[in-house]
A and B are shown apart, each in its own frame.
Chain A
Amino acid sequence: MVKYLISIFTFLSVSVLGIKAFADKAASSAAPLHEHIVNNSALLSKSLFFGLSALGGGLAIGLGVIGAGVGMGNAVRGALESMGRNPGMEKKLIVWMITGMAIMESLALYALLITFILFYANPFKAIFLK
């Protein structure tokens, strides 16, 4: 468990440093030197914000789908096992299995909604785009 946490933190810190380096490079290449010193912190915070928003959106849908996938797999396994034992129930079971799967699928779609909010309708965007 600790190993995974360490690797996640390493990944996060590396990505933050990468964004910082990218912002420095972008600032130094785009703006002249005197503007660069003034704008550097604003640009850094802006690029950190948007980079981490994109990262969070990707992680939200990726981690959200894991749970829905496991749940749907379990549901299909249970339905198939009982269909194998009792083939007469097949039609009824398929209807309820698909209904349950549609409800589980919507859990993944909540995660997708968070991704869309982070990408397209970020509530804190106005602070950083001033």
Chain B
Amino acid sequence: MLKAPILISIPGIPAYWTMTIIVMGLILSAAFIVGRNLRIVPTGMQSFFELIFIMTEYFLKEIIGEEGGIYLPLIASFAVFILFSNLLGSIPGFTSPTATIDTTAVLALIVFFLSHAVGIKKHKAKYIKKFLGPLIIIAPIMIIIEIMSALSRPFSHALRLFANIFAEEFMVTVLLFLLPWAIPAIMMYMQIFTDLMQAFVFYLLAIIYIALSLEEEN
């Protein structure tokens, strides 16, 4: 398979490990620099981080309700991590950690286990009602369908982010081998839009999955 050259590659270690560590370093240093001198009127980087914070707060209040506030740290860190790791792929010589199924699968599994755990914690034994469907007569059939759909959720959640980021990187690589002049740069510019969009979609679906298992059944 075609592969774009990677700048930092340590033999024996997969490329996405190094890239994940680079993303972590970038986020930590950005957080440190921004957090050192906070201003009341935000400028530059601070306004970007505040935008993510306010947006997450808004969506949590809108979709989950008043009890959604406690998920803010997790969901906002998802947003920052996925956004930074998607955007890292736009730099020549680097590759996105999210272009590997392993990274996205871990993120999706966190959402899967968390959503069911908070559902069980809130509804206790009544949580099984969500899987039984509207009528008690068709419950034996509905439970299989509902469990299948619940199990396929993290699968599609992980695959959506992975396939998008992988496909755009692959497209740039193919163009790089076909036409090495100027055209890949335009595609890489277009990539930024997809990166922002996919980070937003993953983040929104994480909130929606948590909201679905928290809502009352009637």
Among the stretches B87-95, B119-127, B157-165, B181-189, the one at the interface with A is B157-165
Task: Say whether, besides A112-B167, A120-B1, A106 and B197 are in contact (CB < 8 Å).
Answer: no
Q: Once bound together, how far apart are the Cα atoms of A2 and B201, in whole Å?
A: 41
Whether B204 sits at the interface, judged by CB under 8 Å, is: yes
Whether A102 pairs with B1 at a CB distance below 8 angstroms is: no
Task: Say whether, besides A99-B204, A120-B1, A110 and B197 are in contact (CB < 8 Å).
Answer: no
Whether B159 pairs with A113 at a CB distance below 8 angstroms is: yes
Q: Once bound together, how far apart are the Cα atoms of A105 and B198, in whole Å?
A: 11
Whether B209 sits at the interface, judged by CB under 8 Å, is: no
Residue count of chain B within 8 Å CB distance of chain A? 14
Contact with B164, one of A98, A99, A109, A116 (Cβ below 8 angstroms): A109
**Interface residue SS majority, chain A:** helix
- Chain B neighbourhood of A14, CB < 8 A: none
Whether B53 sits at the interface, judged by CB under 8 Å, is: no
Chain A proximity mask over B194-218: 1 for CB below 8 Å, otherwise 0: 1001101100100000000000000
Would you give the shortest CB distance from A31 to chain B, in whole angstroms?
30
Chain A proximity mask over B135-174: 1 for CB below 8 Å, otherwise 0: 0000000000000000000001001100110010010000
Q: Once bound together, how far apart are the Cα atoms of A72 and B1, in whole Å?
A: 30
Whether A106 pairs with B160 at a CB distance below 8 angstroms is: yes
Q: Once bound together, how far apart are the Cα atoms of A116 and B127, in whole Å?
A: 40
Would you give the shortest CB distance from A66 to chain B, in whole angstroms?
18
- Chain B neighbourhood of A99, CB < 8 A: 197, 200-201, 204
Q: Which residue of A lies closest to B2 (CB)?
A: A120
Whether A102 pairs with B198 at a CB distance below 8 angstroms is: yes
Q: Once bound together, how far apart are the Cα atoms of A103 and B201, in whole Å?
A: 7
Q: Once bound together, how far apart are the Cα atoms of A103 and B203, in whole Å?
A: 12
Residue count of chain A within 8 Å CB distance of chain B? 12
Q: Once bound together, how far apart are the Cα atoms of A106 and B160, in whole Å?
A: 6
Whether A98 pairs with B1 at a CB distance below 8 angstroms is: no
Q: Which residue of A lies closest to B159 (CB)?
A: A110
Would you give the shortest CB distance from B173 to chain A, in whole angstroms?
13
Whether B200 pairs with A106 at a CB distance below 8 angstroms is: no
Task: Say whether, besides A110-B159, A113-B159, A120-B1, A105 and B164 are in contact (CB < 8 Å).
Answer: yes
Task: Say whether, besides A103-B160, A120-B1, A109 and B167 are in contact (CB < 8 Å).
Answer: yes
Whether A110 pairs with B200 at a CB distance below 8 angstroms is: no
Whether B167 pairs with A102 at a CB distance below 8 angstroms is: no
Would you give the shortest CB distance from B27 to chain A, in whole angstroms?
23
Chain B proximity mask over A93-129: 1 for CB below 8 Å, otherwise 0: 0000011001101100110110010001000000000
* CB-defined A-B contacts under 8 Å, sample of 9: A99-B204, A102-B198, A102-B201, A103-B201, A106-B159, A109-B167, A112-B163, A112-B167, A120-B1
Beyond A102-B201, A103-B201, A106-B164, 17 additional pairs, beta carbon < 8 A: A99-B197, A99-B200, A99-B201, A99-B204, A102-B164, A102-B194, A103-B160, A105-B164, A106-B159, A106-B160, A106-B163, A109-B160, A109-B163, A109-B164, A109-B167, A110-B159, A113-B159
